[in-house]
Chain A
């Protein structure tokens, strides 16, 4: 009997085929050795990058809302902060807002940080909350639920709320460095004074939200076991149409003024002081960025850098290493090297850094230093693959640098392996070496955070500008 004449046999065959297809689908579904990148722009203007990673058991999302032109003066800084407190501070959530309710139902695992150029909202949630996530996005982009009681309280308790649950000292140091470098205004003693905060009204917050929290002024990067087209469809369905664009303050091209300044941020603490050393580097998507990072490592790196080698015992540097963070902005990168030292060691440390930087002019980065730094960064990037957010930053950098779309994002190890010794020499020469020295002043912004009296007593030859905050 032929198979065609036997319906049972046909059904069995179809069942087997279907089963095989399902198993194959499951197997394909879990292959997941590689992360794939899908880029879209929704009809409402939101740039969406979906990183499909079938090994990640939860979803990690980052929403960047750009603040172009909104952190250029004290009131606009305060407006941004007050708006973020109103939206995201749990201590102000009475009466409860719809946004906070949605965030909590999403699992509540979110963090909001602000740098001079954008607000970054990070959120982790379980895959079954994907539908609710697109509604959450809608809520963020249409948020206008400012409440007078909350608003007044946020002004009254501004510094208490600002300091809660964040490394606010570092944030202020970054803000100081950025504003000094971009040279938009000079610092006075009025950094977010109470009068500035008190002078803000709710209409300004509403206007800020309408101007800034718009789909066409934001980037969403989302990673997980996701179907990118489903994600796009959900977002497309739920996003509000962007309102008419208000007149934006014209964004002046950033003029970086990297001249040396030393600030003291006076804080009441029993901890030893922190030294932050900021330098300007090329933007993260530029070719010169990685060579600069390698050069910076050969100066500050732990344990390979020159400072470590020359004075490891003097500053007990096994215990107190210099940490380096690259704060990636659109127009440039801010390298933040920080170390905790004893009060008596601050001036010696600063002079040593200066001395070692000068030495680059006569003794450029050697081949061994270059290889050590390369080895460190490649290893560091490989170790970072264990973190779910490790491949998001290159995608964001690519967006800022308008790099053409690639389906498989190139991550750290591959990028570092392409940097030559010659590129490092050139980058360092331009930033710290003879070229820049011939042009005039020393570079780098230094912010010393600790007890101002003790710091001033310990400084003998350095001139500082004292900055006092009203941290009430």
Chain B
């Protein structure tokens, strides 16, 4: 009897310990429809204020792609009460950090600053939602900057050109096919009125989450949020996002480019990967970490350490909600080494699909993924982003324990099945780029 009680008490004590690691997340909604998520963190003296827009480039009209990307810059370009860059200057002056990015599925802007200055960030973020400066002069200036920067990049960087091509092929027929910046020629002639119209997506409080993590006094914070956000006009909440995971492509594409003056030959693999909303995403993520994470990289080991090919390996992962693409680029000034590397990669993919990963590797990858997850939950801005994404995808705010459990439960069989499905030849787009 006493043993049972002891066990129960120990269990209770461990629960307290666990819950202390993950302070409770709470939510409330303003009358105008703005959903607020509060995620307190103990032991810090800073706070992150994050505005998470549940709309991104996917919602752009097909003939006006690239507008959302412009907003990545327009959001810092002033408003009714602030001059361009004032937002950045305000936060920087107090030792804080400002950042933001627009993606296909969402757009995220955040301020990281000392906890006692949290109202400044609330004010700055509310100003952006109320009255962004969208006159012809600043829209034209941002359009020109995007066109010249991306144009220059595409022209001078064959690797970026190749990756863009492969990514478009992998995502053919999906919302992710067109690059975020759209078609530069169309962007040049895009009417400024259409850019202004799109502001409703950013302004619509029905699609916005205000997420705050760090140290704060809840009653003071609520008062601040009411003060700065309550007079923003209500937005109409759009229907719940209809995410649906897309199946891997089944058409093996191999293409060769010949580029004069190229110093290094390279190959870009595009592998269609599962959606973040899919159940099997975590298994592919495991595989991706095992193969390409520079801290463990299996490819680095087999190509450079074992076979001494001296190739450079880079990888990029899209991290989208409905479908994904893993790009692996291998480059070498020696064509022979590159061809050998391709052969070895093929064999490695086949081996992963037919043999389970060894126990040591399983443990190492699992530890690394768990560490990265915990590090992400410790960093205030990353925590906001994860909370926003999980709410956006699953309407779930208590994902912490569930995610950890899923990570810890991955077994070699899951990884092998994932490799069988996603590393198969018909799921790959390969672009060989050779110098003349």
Residues of B close to A53: CB separation below 8 A: 43
**CB <8 Å contact, B367 and A129:** yes
Cα distance A19–B85 in the bound complex, in angstroms: 57
Binds A, one of B55-63, B125-133, B377-385, B415-423: B377-385
Cα distance A91–B85 in the bound complex, in angstroms: 43
Q: Which of B48, B304, B368 has the most CB of A within 10 A?
A: B304
**CB <8 Å contact, A57 and B20:** no
**CB <8 Å contact, A375 and B93:** yes
Given the interface pairs A27-B16, A160-B310, the reply to whether A126 lies near B9 with Cβ below 8 Å is no
Residues of A close to B295: CB separation below 8 A: 90, 108-110
Given the interface pairs A303-B93, A386-B46, the reply to whether A318 lies near B85 with Cβ below 8 Å is yes
**CB <8 Å contact, A270 and B96:** no
Residues of B close to A18: CB separation below 8 A: 6, 9
**CB <8 Å contact, A94 and B94:** no
Residues of B close to A14: CB separation below 8 A: 2
Contact-residue bracket for chain B: 35 or more
B351 at the interface (CB under 8 A from A): no
**CB <8 Å contact, A303 and B92:** yes
Q: 1/0 per residue A23-49: CB within 8 Å of B? A: 101110110111100000000000000
Given the interface pairs A32-B42, A93-B305, A107-B368, the reply to whether A15 lies near B2 with Cβ below 8 Å is yes
Cα distance A29–B16 in the bound complex, in angstroms: 10
Binds B, one of A232-240, A249-257, A377-385: A377-385
Residues of B close to A382: CB separation below 8 A: 45-46, 95, 114-115
Cα distance A386–B110 in the bound complex, in angstroms: 15
**CB <8 Å contact, B42 and A23:** no
Cα distance A385–B46 in the bound complex, in angstroms: 7
Q: 1/0 per residue A348-388: CB within 8 Å of B? A: 00000000000000000000000010011111111111111
Residues of B close to A15: CB separation below 8 A: 2, 5-6, 9
Residues of A close to B372: CB separation below 8 A: 109
**CB <8 Å contact, B156 and A90:** no
A92 at the interface (CB under 8 A from B): yes
Residue of A nearest to B48 (CB): A386
Cα distance A101–B305 in the bound complex, in angstroms: 14
Residues of B close to A105: CB separation below 8 A: 360, 363-364, 367
B306 at the interface (CB under 8 A from A): yes
Number of A-B contacts (CB under 8 A): 171
Chain B residues 95-144 with CB under 8 Å of chain A are: 95-97, 112-115, 117
B370 at the interface (CB under 8 A from A): yes
Q: How far is the CB of A147 from chain B (nearest CB, A)?
A: 12
Cα distance A15–B97 in the bound complex, in angstroms: 52
Residues of B close to A386: CB separation below 8 A: 41, 44, 46, 48, 112, 214, 378-380
Q: How far is the CB of B66 from chain A (nearest CB, A)?
A: 21
**CB <8 Å contact, A126 and B89:** no
B297 at the interface (CB under 8 A from A): yes
Q: How far is the CB of A280 from chain B (nearest CB, A)?
A: 25
Given the interface pairs A93-B305, A105-B364, the reply to whether A30 lies near B46 with Cβ below 8 Å is no
Contact-residue bracket for chain A: 35 or more
Q: Which of A34, A94, A125, A302 has the most CB of B within 10 A?
A: A94
B21 at the interface (CB under 8 A from A): yes
Q: 1/0 per residue B1-44: CB within 8 Å of A? A: 11001100110111011001100000000000000000001111
Residue of A nearest to B90 (CB): A303
**CB <8 Å contact, B95 and A380:** yes
Residues of B close to A383: CB separation below 8 A: 46, 95-97, 112-114
Q: How far is the CB of B333 from chain A (nearest CB, A)?
A: 10
Residues of A close to B293: CB separation below 8 A: 108
Cα distance A124–B44 in the bound complex, in angstroms: 19
B296 at the interface (CB under 8 A from A): yes
Given the interface pairs A22-B9, A91-B305, the reply to whether A304 lies near B367 with Cβ below 8 Å is no
Residues of B close to A241: CB separation below 8 A: none
B345 at the interface (CB under 8 A from A): no
- A-B contacts besides A33-B42, A55-B42, 15 pairs, CB < 8 Å: A19-B9, A26-B14, A53-B43, A56-B378, A57-B21, A105-B364, A107-B371, A108-B296, A110-B295, A270-B157, A318-B85, A383-B97, A383-B113, A387-B379, A388-B378
Report the 10 A-B pairs with minimum CB-CB distance, sorted nearest first.
A379-B95, A380-B95, A30-B20, A107-B367, A26-B13, A382-B114, A94-B305, A55-B43, A19-B9, A379-B94
